[in-house]
Structure 1
Amino acid sequence: MEDLNKNQIVLLTVLISFVTSIATGIMTVSLLQEAPVEITRNINRIVEKTIETVTPATILAPSQKEVTTVIVKEEDLVVDSINKNIKSIVRIEETDAVSGESSLYGMGLVVSKEGLIVADRKTIIANNFYKAVMSDETKLNLSPLGVDKQTNFILFKANGTIGEKPNEKNYAFVPVTLSDSDPKLGQTLISIGGDVTNAVTIGRTISLIQKDLTVGTTTTKYLANIETDLATKDLMSGSPLLNLSGDVVGMKISGDTSRSFIPVSLLKKDISTLSEPTKTETVKTQ
């Protein structure tokens, strides 16, 4: 040993440790093979627990994000879309001032928290009475706005519950969400109709009808109608057209073909026109 330098001593020590480790391993395996089953089982459990303890958990790098996949069924989106709008859909009744008989004017949509309701424009008779039947069966007096304007739709203003003075009771109006974009071909659409109770029909956009608009020397195209394949049984004047997000993308008017809807872009334009100041209109309440 005295003739060995430092490096040789280190290498010799490593070699002896290596040989000793191999010999120890061989002896351990031999002993385990000869040991009773219960002892080897306990040793294996200790080893497994030790490995679980020292194995580090998976750590995501700062740039990595854990992604969770959530599957949403179309039927769930349909239900959510309907529930989102159910409190905003009203039925408008018209009562003849002479006979006192009432009839369904059409469906309407609440478009503001102040009680503005948009509906298909039909003939408004000055002395007749109009009322809205809300989703909770509350009945509200209505006054038509913008009767003298040339639009596809008309606005009504709620003035109070039936049997009370106008504005005596504050009703919590829930306005719809008007979509910022028109539907695309093939897109799933939902409409709600029914004379007395809500009836749902589901379909798709099958055609987008465009027309020319000429202003001066400039001609541009605009979306005039949304053609769908919706079942027509329960569709009626004022039926809303919804997308799967629950936004209104169109509305039914009586002059259109049975499966055609006026797009939300034109509906918004009419609401803006009807909301502008106009001459004073007579408010009739019961």
Structure 2
Amino acid sequence: MEELNKTQLMLLAIFLSFITSLATGIVTVTLLEQTPVAVSQTINRVIEKTVERVVPGENKITTTIKQVFVPAEDPIASAINKSKNSFVKIELSVPSEDFSTTETTIVNLTGVFVSKDGYILAPSVLNDYASMAISVIDRNANRYRVAIVETKSKDYSVLKIDPQGKKLDTIDFAAKYPALGSQVIGYGFKSKIETLELGRIIVVDNSLSTTSPVIWSNLTVNWPLISDDGLLLGLNHRDGKITFIAEIDALLKATNLQKSKLSTDNATSTAISESQNATILEPLINIRQ
């Protein structure tokens, strides 16, 4: 060491420092690799931060603030949970080919309670079966025989049941027409299995009317259509065209069926346009003899 000059001593010191740093890095990496996963895992749901405030002459005060992040409920699941009790399965009892027995055929149709009095909005295809025995099954597996009270429309059918004192779950109605690109939900039954299909509004045509636009979705199901808020928009047809609840109301009025406003204990709706109140379907309908 005494034979080394200052330059050589400096180079030796740098070399020793490099060797020490390299050894420290190797040891650190080795220790990190041996650390349990649970220790190194990032906790992303609960964040704790400690705020310290020191006041002269007083004890130190430590405050711990916890911020808990709760994931929001899925809007689609929320919409279904809100409205599903209003939907019913529809069955037709049709005779066998040789008329020797009576078979129950599931026609994969879905209706929805729109009145506590037992009115059901359903696809228009049921109008072709007005002379047959039709029954519906609600969420609680209660079975009802029904009568078709509106058979002339090409866009919808109206059924009527006797609630027999049971409380019916009716659906709330959408207040506005959906905008182009907005999400819609088709909900119904296929062979007794709950099924949903998600779609979008792909056409909004105001060329024929500015108050009642022609609106189409990209869905091809013949089911009631709800918004992502769980509100009834109307009926979706297999070609994607939508018949809205306010339009159904207008058609019913045009047929001179009974007209009255929605009772206060049923589903509510505000305006389809901001300046008009939307009348809803409840006892609008008078059973035809």
Shared fold, TM over 0.5: yes
For 2:241, give the aligned amino acid: S
Please report how far the alpha carbon of residue 182 of structure 1 lies from its aligned counterpart in structure 2 after TM superposition: 0.6
Distance in 2 (CA, whole Å) between partners of 1:110 and 1:273 is 22
Query: What's 1:26 paired with?
Result: none
* Change over 3 Å in CA distance of 1:134–1:181 after alignment to 2: same
Equivalent residue of 1:226, what SS? Answer: strand
Counterpart-to-counterpart distance in 2, 1:138 and 1:107 = 15
Equivalent residue number for residue 165 of structure 1: none
The alpha-carbon distance between structure 1 residues 71 and 204, as it changes in their structure 2 partners (threshold 3 A), is farther
Structure ranking higher in helix proportion: 1
The alignment status of 1:267 with 2:248, answered yes or no, reads yes
Q: 1:251 aligns with which of 229, 235, 253?
A: 235
Contact 2:117 2:162 in 1 (8 A): no
d(CA) in 1 for partners of 2:161, 2:168: 10
**Residue deviations 1:234-269, cap 9 Å, x none?**
x3x2x122222111123123xx41x33323332333
Higher relative contact order by CA 8 Å / sep ≥ 6: 1 or 2?
A: 1
Partner residue in 1 for 2:262: none
What is the rounded CA distance, in whole Å, between the counterparts of 2:160 and 2:88 in structure 1? Answer: 13
Equivalent of 2:112, from 93, 109, 114?
109
Counterpart CA distance in 1 for 2:286 and 2:78 is 38
TM-score, normalization: structure 2?
0.58
Structure 1: gaps (5+ residues): 1-44, 53-67, 161-168, 214-219, 282-286
Aligned to 1:207: 203
Change (3 A) 1:266 1:71: farther
Q: Following superposition of structure 1 onto structure 2, how do residues 67-86 of structure 1 map, counting pairs within 5 Å?
A: 73=72, 76-86=74-84
Partner Cα distance (1:265, 1:126) in 2:
24
Partner residue, 2:56: 47
Q: Does structure 1 residue 223 correspond to structure 2 residue 213?
A: yes
- Structure number with greater Rg is 1
Q: Once the 2 structures are TM-superposed, how far is the Cα of residue 222 of structure 1 from its aligned partner?
A: 2.7
CA root-mean-square deviation: 3.3
Letter in 2 for 1:144: I
**One-letter amino acid of the structure 1 residue matched with residue 162 of structure 2:** N
Q: 1:25-82: CA deviations, max 9, x gaps?
A: xxxxxxxxxxxxxxxxxxxx88363686xxxxxxxxxxxxxxx9x9875x62111100
Structure 2 counterpart of 1:104, which letter? Answer: I
Name the % identity.
Answer: 18
Please give the alpha-carbon distance, in whole angstroms, between the structure 1 residues aligned to 2:174 and 2:130: 33
Contact 2:92/2:106, CA 8 A, preserved across alignment = yes
The separation in 1 between residues aligned to 2:234 and 2:287, in whole angstroms, is: 29
Whole-angstrom distance in 1 between the partners of 2:111 and 2:207: 26
Residue in structure 2 matched with residue 134 of structure 1 by the alignment: 138
CA contact (8 A) 2:156 2:235 kept: no
Q: Is the 8 A contact 1:90 1:109 kept in 2?
A: yes
Give the equivalent residue in structure 1 for 2:148.
144
Deviations 1:104-136 (A, max 9, x none): 342111001111101111234454111101122
Alpha-carbon contact 1:155-1:271 (below 8 Å) kept: no
What 5-or-longer segments of structure 2 have no aligned partner?
Answer: 1-53, 62-66, 259-284
How many residues are aligned here? 198
Q: Secondary structure at the match of 1:190?
A: strand
> Which string of whole-angstrom CA distances, capped at 9 and with x for unpartnered residues, describes residues 78-105 of structure 1?
1110011111111111112655223334
Write the deviation string for residues 158-203 of structure 1: whole angstroms up to 9, x where unpaired.
125xxxxxxxx32221111111101011212222133111112223
Q: Which residue type is aligned with residue 266 of structure 1?
A: E
> Which residue is equivalent to 1:240?
224
1:174 corresponding residue in structure 2? 169
CA change 1:210–1:100 in 2 (3 A) is: farther
CA distance in 2 between partners of 1:183 and 1:46 (Å): 59
2:187 to 182, 192, 200: 192
